[in-house]
Structure 1
């Protein structure tokens, strides 16, 4: 019952949220403030049975393995995060939007469709784009999201593996993955906040430094990437909590970004 009530509240917030469209036509969705549990929960192993010395099976290790094998350590421990309201671009930055600001198109996958996501851009490249967009609009409102803001927006009030639920059968409706190339943005359904491609299509740079888990120190030689991409060969790699990492100067045809606009 609590889960249903929470989903209803999120849906209500979305219905009354306001869009913001900037000077080059980028649409941003208003993301309401709130709290969520970040990461992937681990099942308790406290009640796993002790080994019986007179039987061949290793009951304890088998029990522990069954409860932990599907959890990536870098997604633990689960912890509560409170996020202030912000605007998030409804799509990944497109090749057309990149060209509008930068005057070029470095993407590897060029199909003639301006709504293809920009890729083959490093985190350093995204910072140049953001600096020029801020200058064009006479402020400093735009930046990359932190991974906390990103996961909150991706979950859109859900506590499930993907924003569409826990069943892998729903993933194809929201994500471009396990394919040979990215697809135009908005090819799949949005989440409850109206955001497209939060799972799959291209990996998305964040502002956050990498941590091997949420209790470890930050390594700023590597940045966190979120969302998975078109080349992710299974749905596990595009879960809301799934984390990737890369060096800020790296450029691949799998990597893009979306923007956050501060209020």
Structure 2
């Protein structure tokens, strides 16, 4: 059988294979904001979640693993799932980060102490509006100039920075201390052991800029491929590669992956590697009205920033 025809038949008849929970994935990633380097002393370029991880976010993770929320719950319970997730040790936080990393195929992490301070810039004090009985919802407190909310006095937040090589620094203070608002600001700090689970200590997510760029690149490619070839349901786009059946096309290879033949209305991906062959071309035929989308796909893939895949 003609090799090109065989490849097309395999693509058409293969088992349906896509990422699960795509809506959930988009929601979490869209909750990040960018912190850029500047001329005022910030030498860091990273992404941070706009709000602390909520009970709802963490519950999605537990449900995936078949687990339940921690017992005992805080005094106010777990009923409002838009409250910040608390009663989680730093070790539990790392397990959540590792799960997200596997789920998205990009690396999530905790903020360092220095990054936390940078991200908390211009966070106003709204403690007088908070209840002493429980924290506010994660998006209740007005965001700062970066669009980040709740870094000043809602719940303490874990950082990855150690004090005395033993205790993790936590930042921001908590609602339990709102009787003394003068003591709570972005410079408020303490340090506790990674194994502790406290009802006023939560956490938020961070990601290196390179990791976010990989995810954003893959999302653009995935959206275009789904528009162009919705029938090829075995195509899986990840931040590190394009997967077809049992083969993959790595984004880090230093060559033009996409070629277009406008005369034959054919788009070619190079170079698919699998267990038996390497450097195989996979061809797709596109409709005349899709030429603009095909061109856009070629530009995005062939002009990708190779440094983010190193």
TM norm structure 2: 0.53
In 2: Cα distance, 1:177 partner to 1:113 partner: 15
Distance 2:62 2:165 in 1: 26
Q: Answer whether contact 1:175 1:199 (CA < 8 A) is retained.
A: no
Q: In the alignment, what sits opposite 1:222?
A: 167
Q: Give unpaired runs (5+ residues) of structure 2.
A: 1-22, 210-310
Aligned pair partner of 2:162 in 198, 206, 209: 209
Report how far residue 178 of structure 1 moved: 6.6
Higher RCO, 1 vs 2 (CA within 8 Å, ≥6 residues apart) = 1
2:119 to 150, 153, 173: 153
Is the contact made by 2:153 and 2:185 (CA closer than 8 Å) also made in structure 1? no
Counterpart pick for 1:136 among 103, 116, 138: 103
Task: Please list every run of 5 or more consecutive structure 1 residues that lacks an aligned counterpart in the other structure.
Answer: 1-20, 37-80, 165-170, 211-218
The DSSP-based 3-state class of the residue aligned with 2:176 is coil
Query: Counterpart of 1:125?
Result: 92
Distance (Å, rounded) in 2 between the aligned partners of 1:116 and 1:235 = 21
> Could you say which residue in structure 2 is the equivalent of 1:28?
32
Instruction: Quote how far apart the aligned CAs of 1:256 are.
Output: 0.6
TM-score, with structure 1 as normaliser: 0.62
Larger proportion of helix:
2
Tell whether 2:133 aligns with 1:187.
no
C-alpha displacement at 1:115, in angstroms? Answer: 0.8
Matches within 5 A, 1:68-147: 82-103=42-63, 104-106=68-70, 107-108=73-74, 109-140=76-107, 142-147=108-113
Find the aligned partners of 1:90 and 1:179 in 2 and give their Cα distance: 23
| Cα separation, partners in 2 of 1:248 and 1:24, compared to 1, 3 Å | farther
C-alpha distance after superposition, 1:92-119 (max 9, x if no partner): 0000100111223225243522211100
Q: How many residues align?
A: 177
